[in-house]
Amino acid sequence: MPVQGNFGSNSLDWMIDTPLAGCKMMLLRKYRWNYMPNTKSAERRVRNSSRKQLQNRSRKSSLKTIERKYLELINTGKKAEATKELSEVSSSLDKAVKTGVISRGNADRKKSRLAIRLNKTK
């Protein structure tokens, strides 16, 4: 359903039909009172940026989960499994850089520190 007009209470129907409908209240809090788009293109940008923000948040959360799993392997002393997991973590970080979720320097720094921790394990 195309959005007509501004973000009044009746024009938020597009949120209900999206796969991100569970985040409706977060979007309302963020944009309804803080920012009112004046043009159609501005409305479109609000929709797109809020959708991308949620996708990036999800990707960052999955990165943290993968890192946590890797650190658990290191803390338990399973070096062989941790070595395999390090390649998965590195790959995930590189994919996040490619899609613009995190910066290249951030990913390189994390990969370096995770590799150092692996080399310190016995």
Q: What is the mean pLDDT of residues 61-90?
A: 95
Give me the CATH number covering residue 112.
1.20.58.110
pLDDT at 87 > cutoff 60:
yes
Among 88, 84, 100, CA closest to 63:
88
Q: Assess whether 26 and 75 both reside in one domain.
A: no
Specify the pLDDT at position 37.
83
Specify the pLDDT at position 14.
52
| Torsion angle of C-alpha atoms 23, 25, 27, 29, degrees rounded to 10 | -150
Q: Is residue 108 part of a domain?
A: yes
Could you tell me the pLDDT band of residue 58, with boundaries at 50, 70 and 90? very high
Q: Assess whether 65 and 98 both reside in one domain.
A: yes
Q: Assess whether 38 and 88 both reside in one domain.
A: no
Domain hosting residue 115, numbered range: 59-120
Q: How far apart are alpha carbons 53 and 81 in whole angstroms?
A: 33
Specify the pLDDT at position 82.
95
Specify the pLDDT at position 48.
92
Q: 74, 80 in Cβ contact below 8 A?
A: no
**47-56, 86-95, 107-116: least confidently modelled range:** 47-56
For the chain, percent of residues with pLDDT exceeding 70: 71
Residues 12-48 pLDDT 10s: 555 555 555 555 555 555 555 566 788 999 989 988 9
Q: Assess whether 42 and 74 both reside in one domain.
A: no
pLDDT at 56 > cutoff 80:
yes
Q: 37, 46 in Cβ contact below 8 A?
A: yes
Q: Assess whether 115 and 70 both reside in one domain.
A: yes
pLDDT at 66 > cutoff 90:
yes
Q: How far apart are alpha carbons 86 and 115 in whole angstroms?
A: 7
pLDDT at 6 > cutoff 80:
no
